[in-house]
């Protein structure tokens, strides 16, 4: 029996030391120490021994059980260490491999131009204001002295939301003049950039959505001289010192008098070229002195206060600045185009 125990010791310890798998190790434990295991079956034969032999054999068997248990425990530690090592190797990351490059976007070229304009006006003490694109016809037209029946109110030109033509997508940023006069303390110096909408087919110079910048000053004693001086300064900051301007009489319902501001073509110096379409001049914006009816409609006494306003198209400015010949490029957001700026 002693020999059987000795054989079991050798076989089991060797098997345990050879084992590399936790599950297999557990099955070895069952195989040797389980209820139907090999040690148990040896112990069953204790009955055959003489009473004198039994204690020594029992001790030997207990020692063997303890040793096998200890061997299994030790081996378990080794196996889990091995498993961890294998995992670390399998899941290792090569930190020296080149990374995936993250491409960082940048501001849209048109918004660079807008930022430039904002900076110019902020430098002159103007405030930047924002307002609704879904607008009441009252603000987009009526309060701006644009009467019922004016062609710009036609359904063919304007996106209306309601049958009664009372709610629409603003067709100009000029309603921001009304919002400002109704809500702000006087004096007012503000610009209001934003999207406007008109029923135009897309082509090289038209889009149903585009951007305008509205500007307005309301104070005591404001005259056309202030309008000219301020806009001349703005033009010089955008197009460079010495840029020649021309204020041409025009008509807008909400300003009186009204004008359009042209700059002499910076490409040809006024002789006429493709950039200015042979005209020698490039139209930049519409402007004028805020109409007394408009002031009065906003609760401002036209005998005490006066003001000037302008509205300009942002896309046109950006196209000129970056020598882009097609408006669609501004909106398509093709990265091959945008990444050039
Ligand atoms: N709102 C006009 C347009 O869309 C532009 C304009 C002209 C704005 C004269 C003004 C202004 O503030 O005084 O054509």
> Hunting for tokens 């081996």 — which residue is that?
75
Bond before 313 cis per omega within 30 degrees: no
The mean pLDDT of the chain is 93
pLDDT at 104: 87
Decide: 292 and 319 in contact? Cβ < 8 Å: no
DSSP 172: S
Query: How many whole angstroms from 34 Cα to the centroid of ligand 1?
Result: 96
> Can you tell me which atom of ligand 1 is nearest the CA of 172?
4
Decide: 178 and 143 in contact? Cβ < 8 Å: yes
Predicted confidence (pLDDT) at residue 266 exceeds the cutoff of 80: no
Among 18-32, 122-136, 207-221, 292-306, the least confident range: 18-32
**Is the CB of 141 inside a 6 Å radius of any atom of ligand 1?**
no
SS3 label, residue 290: strand
Q: In 263-282, which positions are buried (b, 16+ CB within 10 angstroms) versus exposed (e)?
A: bbbeeeebeeeeebeeebbb
Mutate to test the pocket of ligand 1, among 175, 254, 307 (most ligand atoms within 8 A of CB): 254
**Is the CB of 139 inside a 6 Å radius of any atom of ligand 1?**
no
> Secondary structure of the chain: what % helix, strand, coil (to 5)?
45, 20, 35
Query: How many whole angstroms from 310 Cα to the centroid of ligand 1?
Result: 6
Domains of the chain with bracketed CATH? 2-90 (no CATH), 109-338 (3.30.930.10)
Q: Dump pLDDT digits (tens) for 285-299.
A: 999 999 999 999 999
Query: How many whole angstroms from 142 Cα to the centroid of ligand 1?
Result: 14
pLDDT at 193: 98
The percentage of residues in the chain with a pLDDT greater than 70, rounded to a whole number, is: 100
pLDDT at 325: 84
pLDDT at 241: 93
CA 335 to chain centre: 15
Predicted confidence (pLDDT) at residue 79 exceeds the cutoff of 80: yes
pLDDT at 54: 86
Average pLDDT over residues 214-236: 97
**Is the CB of 109 inside a 6 Å radius of any atom of ligand 1?**
no
pLDDT at 205: 86
Query: How many whole angstroms from 285 Cα to the centroid of ligand 1?
Result: 7
274 confidence band (pLDDT: 50, 70, 90): confident
Query: Two tokens at 264?
Result: 């002499």
pLDDT at 159: 97
Q: Dump pLDDT digits (tens) for 128-146.
A: 999 999 999 999 999 999 9
Pairwise CA distance, residues 265 & 279, whole Å = 8
Q: Dump pLDDT digits (tens) for 148-165.
A: 999 999 999 999 999 999
pLDDT at 29: 92
């Amino acid at each position: 029996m002693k020999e059987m125990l000795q054989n079991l010791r050798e076989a089991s310890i060797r098997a345990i030391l050879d084992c590399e798998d936790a599950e297999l190790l557990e099955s070895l434990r069952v195989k040797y120490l389980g209820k139907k295991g090999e040690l148990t079956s040896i112990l069953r034969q204790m009955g055959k021994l003489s009473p004198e032999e039994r204690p020594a054999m029992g001790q030997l068997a207990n020692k063997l059980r303890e040793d096998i248990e200890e061997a299994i425990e030790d081996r378990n530690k080794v196996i889990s260490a091995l498993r961890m090592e294998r995992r670390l190797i399998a899941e290792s990351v090569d930190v020296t491999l080149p990374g995936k490059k993250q491409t960082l976007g940048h501001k849209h070229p048109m918004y660079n131009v807008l930022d430039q304009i904002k900076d110019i006006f902020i430098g002159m003490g103007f405030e930047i204001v924002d307002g609704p694109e879904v607008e009441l016809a009252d603000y987009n037209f009526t309060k701006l002295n644009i009467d019922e029946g004016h062609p710009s109110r036609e359904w063919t030109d304007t996106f209306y939301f309601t049958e009664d033509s009372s709610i629409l997508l603003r067709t100009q940023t000029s309603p921001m003049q009304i919002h400002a006069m109704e809500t702000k303390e006087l004096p007012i110096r503000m610009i209001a950039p934003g999207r406007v909408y008109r029923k135009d087919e897309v082509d090289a110079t038209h889009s149903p959505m585009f951007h305008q910048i509205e500007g307005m000053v309301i104070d005591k004693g404001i005259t056309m001289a202030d309008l000219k001086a301020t806009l001349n300064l703005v033009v010089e900051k955008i197009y460079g010192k010495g840029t020649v301007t021309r204020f041409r009489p025009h008509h807008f319902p909400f300003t009186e008098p009204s004008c359009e501001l042209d700059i002499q073509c910076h490409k040809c110096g006024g002789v006429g070229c493709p950039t200015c379409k042979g005209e020698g001049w490039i139209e930049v914006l519409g402007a004028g002195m805020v109409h007394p009816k408009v002031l009065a409609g906003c609760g401002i006494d036209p005998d005490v206060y006066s003001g000037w306003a302008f509205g300009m198209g942002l896309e046109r400015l950006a196209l000129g600045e970056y020598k882009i010949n097609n408006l669609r490029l501004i909106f398509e957001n093709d990265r091959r185009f945008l990444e050039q700026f």
